[in-house]
Amino acid sequence: MAVEVKHKLHRADEVDHHIVRMERIRKYPPLETIEKRLVGAMAGGVVKPEARDYIHKAGFFALELTGENVSLVKPTVEFTPREW
């Protein structure tokens, strides 16, 4: 799993940028990811609700930082994890 972590996760272009990054990882994979399924996630200390929906629609897991813990955000839209 490749995770993009932001302090504030508010904009769709941040999600789009992570999609590009995932495609690069698949095109030039690290040795430990060759021939393995790769999924992605985005994490943030502050995640706007509309950003959460966009994250899920893009096929990423959404994680929210809560103090010293990390919570998996339950999707409010139809969600199927995308594999690269």
Q: What is the pLDDT along the chain (84 residues), one digit of tens a residue?
A: 999 999 999 899 999 999 999 999 999 999 998 999 999 999 999 899 989 999 999 999 999 998 889 999 999 888 999 999
7 assigned to some structural domain: yes
Residue 6 makes CB contacts below 8 A (sequence gap 6+) with: 14, 42, 43, 44, 45
49 assigned to some structural domain: yes
Whether the model clears a pTM of 0.95, i.e. scores above it, the answer is no
Q: What is each CA distance from 45 to 8, 32, 34, 77, in whole angstroms? A: 6, 29, 31, 21
* d(C-alpha 6, C-alpha 63), whole Å: 10
> How many structural domains are present in the chain?
1
67 assigned to some structural domain: yes
21 assigned to some structural domain: yes
* d(C-alpha 19, C-alpha 53), whole Å: 15
81 assigned to some structural domain: no
Range of the domain at 8: 2-72
pLDDT recorded at residue 67: 84
44 assigned to some structural domain: yes
77 assigned to some structural domain: no
